Amino acid sequence: IYSTGLFQYVNYELVPKTNDPSQVVLHWKLAEKKMAWLGFRFGVGNEQDDAKGNITTFDFTAEGGHRNIAGTARSISLQVVPSLHYGRETPNSPRKLLNPRNQYSFTFVEPWVLNTRTPGVFKISLTDESPPITNLPATSLETSFNISHVFENYWSYTAGISFQKVDLQENTDISSVNLSELTNLIAG
């Protein structure tokens, strides 16, 4: 029951029957989580790159969702993560507050694939990146579908399929790219 993600508290106790102590009654105590939720987080990330050095980003996450759509235990969630960086976009530019990465994700969970307790998770993410995180501005689209089933004897199987497409943004001013860095990345 707890693994459904619908409850914040699950407990049970065996209570002997008063008229027959050889039999017991199972009493469950449950506290259901709120169906709709909203959350915020802050994190610090550090990316090491041979050509660019260490880049520290400050990530702000806003997410929300619903964990029990129409009482079916299906869930959806949406997540937005902008990353901020105080530094230089190119080696000779002045320091300023930059927004080099934005990520948007949508997740749908179907808990009963093939009418079994086999959760299927579909996720789609769109990420926009620009210098100094990447050498050229790029947009990445990722999708995946994963299923996982745990058997009673603790065996499990997991299967998935995923797709990723990365597009370099057109109309990029190639003169702003440090060509020696790009050559080192290609050669390395």
Which residue ranges form the domains of the chain, and what is each CATH number? 1-33 (no CATH), 34-172+179-187 (2.40.160)
Q: Which of 35, 37, 19, 17 is nearest to 27 (CA)?
A: 17
> Within 10 Å of residue 107's Cβ, how many Cβ atoms?
17
Residues of the chain with pLDDT under 50: 174-176, 188
Q: What is the pLDDT of residue 79?
A: 98
> Within 10 Å of residue 15's Cβ, how many Cβ atoms?
9
Q: What is the pLDDT of residue 152?
A: 82
Q: What is the pLDDT of residue 91?
A: 75
Distance CA 67, CA 7 (A): 10
Residue found under tokens 């937005």: 80
Q: What is the pLDDT of residue 7?
A: 86
Q: Which of 5, 7, 31 is nearest to 107 (CA)?
A: 5
Q: Which of 90, 79, 86, 80 is nearest to 58 (CA)?
A: 86
pTM for this predicted structure: 0.73
Q: What is the pLDDT of residue 105?
A: 98
Q: What is the pLDDT of residue 153?
A: 81
Q: What is the pLDDT of residue 50?
A: 65
